[in-house]
Amino acid sequence: MRTGVWLVGVRGSVATTSIVGALALRAGLTRPTGCVTELPEVNSPALPSVADLVFGGHDVVATPIAKRAEALADAGVVPARLVAALTEELAAVERELRPAPTAGTQADRAAEIVRDLTTFRQRHGLSRVVVVNVAATEPAPRPHPGHADPDALRTALAGPDEVLPPSSLYAYAAVVADCPYVDFTPSTGLRLPALTALADSHAVPYAGHDGKTGETLLKSVLAPMFAMRHLAVRSWSGLNLLGGGDGATLADPDANAAKVRSKQRVLGETLGYLPQGDTRIGYVEDLGDFKTAWDLITFAGFLGTGMRLEFTWHGCDSALAAPLVLDLARLTAAAHAAGRTGPLTELAFFFKDPLGTATHSLADQWTRLCGFARSLDPGGTDAASG
Ligand SMILES: NC(=O)c1ccc[n+]([C@@H]2O[C@H](COP(=O)([O-])OP(=O)(O)OC[C@H]3O[C@@H](n4cnc5c(N)ncnc54)[C@H](O)[C@@H]3O)[C@@H](O)[C@H]2O)c1
């Protein structure tokens, strides 16, 4: 089942690490550490193998992917020996990368994206192409009447207005090209009524939002623990310091606000109340792709006795994110092959701000993911019940 993975933001850190990782796995040069779909509970014959994945993508910058990979090796994100061993494979991926369309109306740009996706699918004889957004985080868009329904949107896109933010224009084009869409970012993507209605009419599945790789991953484990032990969380404050392209983007207050909103949901929805405190994100260029999150939690136990927990997380963001991008591409492709449509709420395990699901507990999300994976297996016991 040769499957296309079209990365929006393909020359960024997460995309480049995903591509280097997949090529290294295919060549047998590394192990699938961090790939959830390689665990027996989630692996299934219904998933395309990593070796079946064919990469392409769009970006607004033209830096060769091999140069981006070398820069990531210099920064200690990927091993330099892998980048050196994959020169030919990276050159082959480079031939599949396209500049983000900039000319004409948004309808013209969407048509160009649709052409790029369709010719990619045909050129490689792919059974399907999963579009994954790993582009820079955008601020929330201003409301527009075109967001309401597909007909209003089609008319508005042909006019002079910038109706959709880039993530949503890619989501629109993905759906029109009958491609499943995954949003690994906190950007708007498919979350507009016009786009979800369009996705329904094209019968494509979609998943999002915002990959859960660090501080929020820990929150989704620790917050249920406080709730289950009936301990009262009084405050939860977090400070995230990061560099790299993502850190530079998040220095912009509007993009920062989108990310902070996405990080806060887990506490309110798991505890049933919002403790004092907030999450802050700061840009420190020297940290590069290595993020430090420091959290301070104060809580009360029996008789109101006050206690505290602190943790410090030092994560390499792209190394944490890349295997999840591969997992999401494989699972979403298999869901599409199985005829699944609409939001894939069972993939909440992977996201900070999951679509259409009430549970933020990682353990509950894991159970749902395992059931989902079993349901995709044509020979599995759950297949008959869907
Ligand atoms: N690394 C993680 O752990 C993690 C976790 C959750 C979410 N994310 C999200 O993943 C995204 C990528 O992160 P990164 O570290 O790779 O960032 P990055 O800055 O290294 O890469 C982003 C890429 O997007 C490109 N881009 C910007 N606008 C574009 C457009 N309109 N069309 C096409 N390409 C465009 C940029 O040129 C750049 O190459 C961010 O939105 C980030 O918030 C990352």
pLDDT tens, position by position, 227-247:
999 999 999 999 999 988 777
Residue 256: which pLDDT band, with cuts at 50, 70 and 90? confident
* For ligand 1, atom 36: residue with the closest CA: 9
* Cα–Cα dist 75/79, whole Å: 9
**What pLDDT, on the 0 to 100 scale, is given for residue 186?**
93
Q: Does pLDDT of 265 surpass 80?
A: no
> Which of 59, 209, 349 to mutate to test ligand 1, by most ligand atoms within 8 A of the CB atom?
59
CB distance 132 to ligand 1 below 6 Å: no
* Ligand 1 center to 256 CA (angstroms): 13
262 lines ligand 1 (CB under 6 A): no
In terms of pLDDT, which residue wins out, 246 or 52? 52
CA of 12 relative to ligand 1 center, distance in Å: 6
pLDDT at residue 386 tops 60: no
Q: What is the pLDDT averaged over residues 132-150?
A: 95
Among 41-45, 116-120, 129-133, 277-281, the range scoring the smallest mean pLDDT is 277-281
CA-211 nearest atom, ligand 1: 6
For ligand 1, the distance from its centroid to the CA atom of residue 245, given in whole angstroms, is 7
State pLDDT tens for residues 206-222: 999 999 998 889 999 99
Reply yes or no on whether the pLDDT at 252 is more than 90.
Answer: no
Picking from 351, 14, 369, the residue whose alpha carbon sits closest to that of residue 210 is 351
Place 384 in a pLDDT band, splitting at 50, 70 and 90. very low
Q: What is the pLDDT of residues 66-106, one digit of tens each?
A: 999 999 999 999 999 999 999 999 999 999 999 999 999 99
Q: Is the CB of residue 256 below 6 angstroms from any atom belonging to ligand 1?
A: no
Ligand 1: which atom is nearest the Cα of residue 135? 24
Residue nearest to atom 12 of ligand 1 (CA): 134
Q: Is the CB of 135 under 6 A from ligand 1?
A: yes
Return the best residue to mutate from 6, 14, 137, 187 for the ligand 1 pocket (most ligand atoms within 8 A of CB): 14
Q: What percent of the chain has pLDDT over 70?
A: 96
Tell me the CA–centroid distance for residue 2 and ligand 1, in Å: 25
Query: Is 208 a pocket residue for ligand 1 (Cβ < 6 Å)?
Result: no
Reported as a single tens digit per residue, the pLDDT across 365-379 is 999 999 999 999 877
Burial class (CB in 10 A: 0-12, 13-18, 19+), 10: buried
Task: Answer whether 175's CB lies under 8 Å from 182's CB.
Answer: no
User: Is the pLDDT higher at 261 or at 284?
Assistant: 284
Question: Who's near 340: CB < 8 A, 6+ residues apart?
Answer: 205
Mean model confidence pLDDT for the chain: 93
Q: What pLDDT score was predicted for residue 383? A: 44
pLDDT digits (tens, 9 = 90+) for 156-174: 999 999 999 999 999 999 9
Per-residue pLDDT, 206:
98
Residue 1: predicted pLDDT: 82
Long-range contacts (CB closer than 8 Å, 24 or more residues apart) made by 104-112: 105/157, 105/158, 105/159, 105/160, 106/157, 106/161, 106/162, 106/163, 106/164, 106/169, 107/154, 107/157, 107/158, 109/169, 110/157, 110/169, 110/172, 110/173, 110/176, 111/173
